[in-house]
Amino acid sequence: MKMFPPSFGSALSVAGESRLPVDAPFDKTQRLFVDGLLAGLSAIVEAQEAGDTGTTGSALRVLFGSQTGTAEALSKNLRKFAATQGFDATISDLDAVTLVELAEVEHLLIIVATTGEGEPCDNAKRFHTALMNSDAQQLPPTLQFSVCGLGDLSYPAFNKIAKEVDVRLHELGATRIRDAVFCDTAYEDDFAVWKEDVFATPAFANAAGTPRAPEPFPDTAEPVFTKQRPFTATVLDVRRLSGQGPGKVVNHVEIALAGGGPDLDYRAGDALGLWPVNDPAEISAFLAAAGFTGAESVSLKSGPARLRSALLRFDLTLVTPATRKAWAVPDAPADGQVIDLLRHGVPGLTPQVLIDGLRPLQSRLYSISSSPEAHPGEVHLTVGELRYDLHGTERKGCASTFLGGRIAPGSTVGVFVQQASHFHPPEDDRPLIMIGPGTGIAPFRAFLEEREARNATGENWLFFGDRTEARDYLYRDQIEGWRATGLLARTSLAWSRDGQDKVYVQDMIRRDASEVFAWLERGAAIYICGDAARMAADVDRALHHIIADAGQMDARSAAAYVERLVHDHRYRRDVY
Ligand SMILES: Cc1cc2nc3c(=O)[nH]c(=O)nc-3n(C[C@H](O)[C@H](O)[C@H](O)COP(=O)(O)OP(=O)(O)OC[C@H]3O[C@@H](n4cnc5c(N)ncnc54)[C@H](O)[C@@H]3O)c2cc1C
Ligand SMILES: Cc1cc2nc3c(=O)[nH]c(=O)nc-3n(C[C@H](O)[C@H](O)[C@H](O)COP(=O)(O)O)c2cc1C
């Protein structure tokens, strides 16, 4: 059997080598397409020449832990690549396997994201608990694995779960065949190197079966518009939802998706990804602090650019290890932002060094607050402007203030649809309890619009709230309209600053305990969206409490009841 080199499946991407003569009469896209086709055909011929007419690859298990879909998408990419390396990959989420099953596996690749404040994703929780258990069973050395972690350096618990999974598998006896990679938000390069390296290890290369031809490029099944190739959409409307006075400003944003085709099709529960740009006024302040005019030239991956325009697309806040290294500031305080470092003065800073220490700006996700059935060709968002004080100066979030203040009808913005793997409304007519204070209301407006458009008969109960009713009752007219028509059987509203006592949605759940339990007993699904730091955990505690109380159970039985809800996909969360 012929062994192919590890980079066989990505021959085109390696140094961009083309199989076509340089003067072949093709433009760039045509050249890529023909090259992909030729790569595929030559792979088949090479395999046949080697006498490999069979199509069996060796077994590979790919497991992912994913909250917003990236790790899942990368697993699919890995499966395709694995086929070109002689492996037939089976993909599933981490919770789909037990440690007993894992012990039978020989080749294992894990792509796992960290979510919350250093927590496992919903589809990796059970696996993570079992793995970290002090009584976890030993694993055999024949289990050969490597881990790719997805994370974000702006979180203190950077890649916590990937690190734990990697260390624990090794501790339990499995064989690590390649060091784990812990990716930041710009994961593409690290993932690509890890993927190639893994198949080049003796443990994988020596076990490879028959490689398959790579799928021709462009693969017609591949989407045209993705996170990396966003659709340029036009803004239709931006209007303020919250009232005047102190407090968070929340805006309603409407964006046209016409012309985006099927890649922009979405379902209630999905999120819209979008690429913001920095505020020009903030860039001016940044340049002043750095002592540059903005007219200086810098070199970017995409080519040369003026510093001022380059800064539109770099993160002006986050201090990363790359910042510390490029700017030679190893002791930069953890709680500061790059502007604070500049204000203190960074010796030897040149425009290029400045850029080299900044992380490219990342896309942001927003829960979609419209149903495509109610608003064909449009997508609506409900965006809270982030403003906070740090070291005595006001700071603001990049994307939320971009959407709130720097776009207007007619502006364009790069967008993509991020499908939710686990947060769509129930397909049947079961009762639905939705808990979404603040901007957490967004997906539930979409759910209710969808149930209305479909004349769905399932009962709906909305828990909503914020500081004050007069200022913060988002979508009041629509919600009251739905109460009047009966689409909303119940609303429970919690205003934390209106009365003597602070009341939150979790208090309303406790107040309505017996009714909530009765709904659950009738098969209701319960969905939570919004603040991950406090609200989601408080609601979860309240839920356990009322189930124990109203169901007359001890704490352990109440926990098992909640576990069953999760298992039956009746308890779902989309928190950020
Ligand atoms: C699946 C999903 C759905 C979402 N849906 C919505 C939605 O429907 N509506 C919505 O408004 N948002 C939503 N978000 C959040 C949204 O994606 C952005 O994170 C949010 O708008 C802030 O982005 P920004 O660019 O304005 O802020 P950034 O520029 O990204 O700033 C955020 C950073 O500021 C820093 N920071 C924030 N507060 C402080 C503080 N007090 N002190 C010091 N530093 C601080 C932190 O480093 C933080 O990481 C969602 C997120 C996810 C993952
Ligand atoms: C709500 C939320 C919380 C996150 N918490 C962490 C964290 O604690 N540590 C970390 O390294 N990354 C964190 N991240 C970043 C994700 O791990 C990263 O975006 C990853 O690519 C997401 O992968 P997924 O789309 O497969 O879920 C968080 C992201 C979100 C949206």
Q: What is the full DSSP assignment across 173-184?
A: TPEE-S--EEE-
The pLDDT of 216-228, averaged and rounded, is: 74
- Which of 386, 403, 445 has the most ligand 1 atoms within 8 A of CB, as the residue to mutate? 386
Of all protein residues, whose CA lies closest to atom 9 belonging to ligand 2?
A: 158
369 within 8 A of 443, measured Cβ to Cβ: yes
Q: Residue 214 has what pLDDT?
A: 80
| CB of residue 383 inside a 6 A radius of ligand 1 | yes
- Which atom of ligand 1 lies nearest, measured to the CA of 366? 5
The DSSP element (H or E) to which 202 belongs, if any, is helix 202-205
Q: What angle do CA 465, 466, 469 make, to 5 degrees?
A: 80
- Residues 6+ away with beta carbon under 8 Å from 500: none
Is 90 exceeded by the pLDDT of residue 250?
Answer: yes
% of the chain surpassing 70 pLDDT: 89
The pLDDT of 145-155, averaged and rounded, is: 96
Lowest mean pLDDT among 25-34, 60-69, 374-383, 412-421: 25-34
Is 70 exceeded by the pLDDT of residue 22?
Answer: no
Q: How far is the CA of 198 from the centre of ligand 1 (A)?
A: 34
Measured between alpha carbons, how far is 126 from 92 in angstroms, rounded to an integer? 14
The pLDDT of 264-284, averaged and rounded, is: 97
Q: State the pLDDT confidence band at 14, using cuts at 50, 70 and 90.
A: very low
What is the chain's alpha carbon radius of gyration, rounded to the nearest angstrom?
26
112 within 8 A of 69, measured Cβ to Cβ: no
| CB of residue 71 inside a 6 A radius of ligand 2 | yes
Mind listing the pLDDT tens digit for each residue in 157-195? 999 999 999 999 999 999 999 999 999 998 999 999 999
- C-alpha distances (whole Å) from 495 to each of 231, 304, 502, 504 are 39, 52, 7, 7
The pLDDT of 400-426, averaged and rounded, is: 94
Q: Residue 223 has what pLDDT?
A: 82
Is 90 exceeded by the pLDDT of residue 200?
Answer: yes
pTM tops 0.75:
yes
Locus of tokens 């967008």: 415
249 within 8 A of 242, measured Cβ to Cβ: yes
C-alpha closest to that of 449 among 369, 527, 530: 369
Cis before residue 218, ω within 30 degrees of 0?
yes
Measured between alpha carbons, how far is 2 from 52 in angstroms, rounded to an integer? 8
| CB of residue 362 inside a 6 A radius of ligand 2 | no
The pLDDT of 464-479, averaged and rounded, is: 98
Burial 129-161 (b: 16+ CB within 10 A, else e): ebbeeeeeeebeeebbbbbbbbbbbeeeebbbb
- C-alpha distances (whole Å) from 397 to each of 300, 318, 388, 403 are 24, 12, 8, 10
Task: Give bridge partners of residue 434 from the DSSP assignment.
Answer: 462, 527
Is 60 exceeded by the pLDDT of residue 41?
Answer: no
Of all protein residues, whose CA lies closest to atom 30 belonging to ligand 2?
A: 115
Is 50 exceeded by the pLDDT of residue 545?
Answer: yes
Measured between alpha carbons, how far is 404 from 396 in angstroms, rounded to an integer? 11
Is 70 exceeded by the pLDDT of residue 48?
Answer: no
| CB of residue 576 inside a 6 A radius of ligand 2 | yes
Q: Residue 213 has what pLDDT?
A: 83
Locus of tokens 């077994």: 59
C-alpha closest to that of 267 among 371, 422, 369, 364: 371
One-character DSSP codes across 300-356 = ETTEEEEHHHHGGGB-SS---HHHHHHTT-TT--TT--HHHHHHH--TT--HHHHHH
Q: How far is the CA of 514 from the centre of ligand 2 (A)?
A: 36
The pLDDT of 508-514, averaged and rounded, is: 97
| CB of residue 418 inside a 6 A radius of ligand 2 | no
Measured between alpha carbons, how far is 150 from 481 in angstroms, rounded to an integer? 43
Classify 53 as helix, strand or coil.
Answer: coil
| CB of residue 159 inside a 6 A radius of ligand 2 | yes
Of all protein residues, whose CA lies closest to atom 41 belonging to ligand 1?
A: 388
Is 50 exceeded by the pLDDT of residue 558?
Answer: yes
Q: Residue 228 has what pLDDT?
A: 86
Measured between alpha carbons, how far is 571 from 563 in angstroms, rounded to an integer? 9
Is 50 exceeded by the pLDDT of residue 12?
Answer: no
DSSP state at residue 400: H
Q: Residue 11 has what pLDDT?
A: 34
Measured between alpha carbons, how far is 182 from 162 in angstroms, rounded to an integer? 7
The pLDDT of 25-47, averaged and rounded, is: 59
Terminal Cα-to-Cα distance of the chain (whole angstroms): 50
| CB of residue 367 inside a 6 A radius of ligand 1 | yes
| CB of residue 367 inside a 6 A radius of ligand 2 | no
Q: Could you tell me how many residues make up the chain?
A: 576
Q: How far is the CA of 347 from the centre of ligand 2 (A)?
A: 34
562: left (phi over 0), alpha (psi -120 to 50) or beta: alpha
Measured between alpha carbons, how far is 58 from 85 in angstroms, rounded to an integer? 9
Measured between alpha carbons, how far is 111 from 124 in angstroms, rounded to an integer? 11
- Which atom of ligand 2 lies nearest, measured to the CA of 576? 1
Mean predicted lDDT score pLDDT of the chain: 91
- C-alpha distances (whole Å) from 411 to each of 232, 403, 450 are 10, 10, 28
Domains of the chain as residue ranges with CATH: 8-205 (3.40.50.360), 231-276+366-416 (2.40.30.10), 280-356 (no CATH), 432-575 (3.40.50.80)
Q: Residue 244 has what pLDDT?
A: 94
The tokens for 45 are 């011929």
Q: How far is the CA of 93 from the centre of ligand 1 (A)?
A: 27
